[in-house]
């Protein structure tokens, strides 16, 4: 059985078969049954959500020999001709390949003539946003005064690229990405009709990879069935989609939360055995972290009903700041992974980064941006005044980009002579780098009219040992960071393998 066969066989033929678009189906059913036919429809939405399928269903509903209704018979000559793709009065045009005005004009020349076979001539223009401005103008003229026997159905993935004049002539429907559960339900239905046995997790694997596109889901299903022997199993699905079973990603998260570097590397190696698409694995990791964040703030939200059980425990173990930090590292990791020539290593580095930036003490993380830092008992009133004035000073520096972000997440700890100490919330540590810190330093030096020494300390590292006499906080912090990195098992492994040393 070829892919075409399965996808075509199970393409919805009536409105009641359409999956995942209840609002559109309801409106169209009521209109067709009442005989309210609009001369132009516009279906927008991402690929594979059913735009052209709906257009063909409308063509059948309008041309069924039994009469106009939301429920065409499916048996008459017209119904069959439309399904088989040789109905004269359904004119399908791909906007992407017919962009020129001459082509649109020649298409529209036939509009005035009566239908050859059916009641209505239906013009389906797919990817209509690709038409040229002249083509749109030609189309608009027809849309302004359409003959009563002509219906236009426009389909697009990018409705914002359509001229307002065209949009205003159309009855518009937005087709949503099909929900995961609706895709799984449809796949289940198809497999049962086809008498295939299956593993439910395999269907979730397909539905996730299809990202809201029912067409992609059916295509993946077809492919996975070809690779399965007798029963559709998870392994066959992951071999095609490049994903990995969710439990593997959950295990990674658990190791990160426990700070268990050895297990983390072992689980990463197990994932590597799937030869996955690391982008897919990372997307799964991001999706789980996003769910944890929702669980932490809105546990009764519909979005987190039926999440995997371990996530409930993770949401309790992680602080919201840690969840945000890991999410941010994973998010930026998507970009870094693209640059990495060896994806498996790139992915490992990303996981290790999560451990390196792991806040050391949970209570230390609770210092938020904007929280005034208590000045020490001997602090002079001018020190207090400066802390109060700090937000105004920051505004006057007029920094932008990362430097602005950095200051938004930092608080003034003290200013002694020319040295300014800032505390940076742990979650914002990834913002800190030489260039940004240099920008802030320059801006502060300009403001105070003297060369400022800047010391920025992540607040998670505040509980560091006392400084020896004469040591600046920066020196103490760097020494502490070095000690912590050197005592990390993963880093030790790296150092041994590459005979390196930690440089701060
Ligand atoms: Zn019919």
- The pLDDT tens digits for 279-305 are 999 999 999 999 999 999 998 888 888
More confident site: 36 or 499: 36
Is residue 475 a part of any domain in this protein?
yes
| pLDDT beyond 50 at 464 | no
Query: Which of 124, 149, 174 is a domain's end point?
Result: 174
Kindly state whether residues 37 and 142 are assigned to the same domain: yes
Ranges of H-type helices in 92-132: 101-109
Kindly state whether residues 234 and 251 are assigned to the same domain: no
Phi, psi of 137 (to 5 degrees): -65, -40
Kindly state whether residues 110 and 80 are assigned to the same domain: yes
User: Which range marks the domain in which residue 222 is found?
Assistant: 180-241
Kindly state whether residues 11 and 140 are assigned to the same domain: yes
What total of structural domains would you count in the chain?
A: 4
**Which tens digit of pLDDT belongs to each residue from 301-321?**
888 887 888 999 999 999 999
Cα–ligand 1 centroid distance for 222 (angstroms): 29
Cα–ligand 1 centroid distance for 71 (angstroms): 9
Is this model's pTM higher than 0.85 or not? no
Question: What interhelical angle do 234-241 and 200-210 show, nearest 10?
Answer: 20
The dihedral of CA 105, 106, 109, 114: what is its sign? negative
Q: Give 176's DSSP letter.
A: P
More confident site: 59 or 502: 59
How much of the chain, in percent, has pLDDT values that exceed 90?
49
Kindly state whether residues 224 and 141 are assigned to the same domain: no
Q: Give 59's DSSP letter.
A: H
Cα–ligand 1 centroid distance for 192 (angstroms): 27
Kindly state whether residues 12 and 161 are assigned to the same domain: yes
Task: Report residues near ion ligand 1: CB below 5 Å.
Answer: 64, 72-73, 76, 79
Query: Which of 123, 150, 174 is a domain's end point?
Result: 174
Lowest mean pLDDT segment, chosen from 58-62, 176-180, 443-447, 457-461: 457-461
**Which tens digit of pLDDT belongs to each residue from 193-207?**
989 999 999 999 999
The dihedral of CA 332, 335, 341, 342: what is its sign? positive
Kindly state whether residues 256 and 203 are assigned to the same domain: no
Kindly state whether residues 294 and 350 are assigned to the same domain: yes
Query: How many other CB atoms sit within 10 Å of the CB of residue 20?
Result: 21
Kindly state whether residues 48 and 152 are assigned to the same domain: yes
Cα 2 to chain centroid distance, Å, stands at 31
d(CA 88, CA 91): 7
Is residue 295 a part of any domain in this protein?
yes
CATH of the domain at 189: 1.10.8.60
Is the Cβ–Cβ distance between 371 and 409 less than 8 Å?
Answer: no
Phi, psi of 373 (to 5 degrees): -85, 130
Cα–ligand 1 centroid distance for 189 (angstroms): 25
Cα–ligand 1 centroid distance for 96 (angstroms): 31
Cα–ligand 1 centroid distance for 61 (angstroms): 8
Cα–ligand 1 centroid distance for 183 (angstroms): 28
Phi, psi of 105 (to 5 degrees): -60, -45
d(CA 92, CA 69): 22
Tokens of 130: 């690709």
Cα–ligand 1 centroid distance for 72 (angstroms): 5
**Which tens digit of pLDDT belongs to each residue from 135-183?**
899 899 899 988 999 999 999 999 999 999 999 999 999 999 999 999 9
CATH of the domain at 68: 3.40.50.300
Kind and range of the H or E element at 152? strand 150-156
């Amino acid at each position: 059985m070829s892919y075409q066969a399965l996808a075509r066989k199970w393409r919805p033929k009536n409105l009641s078969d359409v999956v995942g678009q209840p609002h559109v189906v309801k409106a169209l059913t009521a209109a067709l049954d009442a005989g309210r036919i609009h001369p132009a429809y516009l279906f927008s939405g991402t690929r594979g959500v059913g735009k052209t399928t709906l257009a063909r269903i409308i063509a059948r509903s309008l041309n069924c020999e039994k009469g106009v209704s939301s429920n065409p018979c499916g048996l008459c000559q017209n119904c069959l001709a439309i399904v088989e793709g040789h109905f004269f009065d359904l004119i399908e045009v791909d906007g992407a390949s017919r962009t020129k005005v001459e082509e649109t004009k020649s298409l529209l020349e036939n509009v005035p003539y009566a239908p050859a076979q059916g009641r209505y001539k239906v013009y389906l223009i797919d990817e209509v946003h690709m038409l040229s401005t002249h083509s749109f103008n030609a189309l608009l003229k027809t849309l302004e005064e359409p003959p009563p026997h002509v219906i236009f159905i426009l389909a697009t993935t990018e409705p914002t690229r359509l001229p307002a004049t065209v949009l205003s002539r159309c009855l518009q429907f937005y087709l949503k990405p099909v929900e995961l559960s609706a895709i799984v339900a449809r796949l289940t239905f198809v497999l049962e009709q086809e008498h295939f046995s299956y593993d439910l997790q395999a269907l979730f694997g397909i539905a996730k990879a299809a990202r809201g596109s029912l067409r992609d889901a059916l295509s993946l299903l077809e492919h996975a069935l070809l690779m399965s022997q007798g029963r559709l199993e998870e392994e066959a699905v992951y071999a095609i989609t490049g994903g990995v079973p969710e439990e593997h990603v959950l295990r990674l998260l658990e190791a990160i939360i426990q700070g268990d570097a050895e297990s983390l590397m072992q689980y990463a190696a197990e994932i590597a055995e799937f030869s996955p698409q690391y982008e897919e694995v990372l997307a799964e990791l991001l999706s789980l972290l996003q769910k944890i964040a929702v669980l932490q703030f809105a546990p009764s939200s519909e979005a987190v009903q039926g999440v995997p059980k371990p996530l409930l425990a993770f949401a309790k173990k992680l602080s919201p700041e840690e969840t945000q930090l890991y999410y941010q590292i994973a998010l930026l990791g998507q970009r870094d992974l693209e640059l990495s020539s060896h994806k498996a290593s790139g992915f490992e580095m990303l996981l290790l980064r999560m451990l390196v930036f792991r806040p050391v003490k949970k209570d230390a993380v609770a210092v938020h941006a904007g929280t005034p830092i208590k000045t020490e008992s001997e602090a002079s009133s001018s020190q207090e005044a400066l802390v109060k004035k700090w937000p105004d000073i920051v505004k006057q520096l007029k920094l932008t980009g990362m430097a602005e972000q950095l200051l938004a997440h930092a608080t003034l700890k003290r200013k002694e002579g020319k040295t300014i100490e800032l505390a940076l919330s742990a979650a914002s540590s990834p913002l800190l780098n030489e260039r940004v810190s240099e920008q802030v330093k320059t801006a502060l030096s300009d403001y105070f009219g003297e060369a400022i020494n800047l010391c920025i300390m992540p607040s998670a590292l505040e509980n560091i040992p006392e400084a020896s006499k004469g040591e600046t906080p920066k020196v103490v912090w760097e020494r502490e960071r070095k000690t912590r990195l050197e005592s990390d098992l993963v880093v030790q492994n790296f150092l041994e393998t590459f005979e390196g040393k930690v440089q701060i």
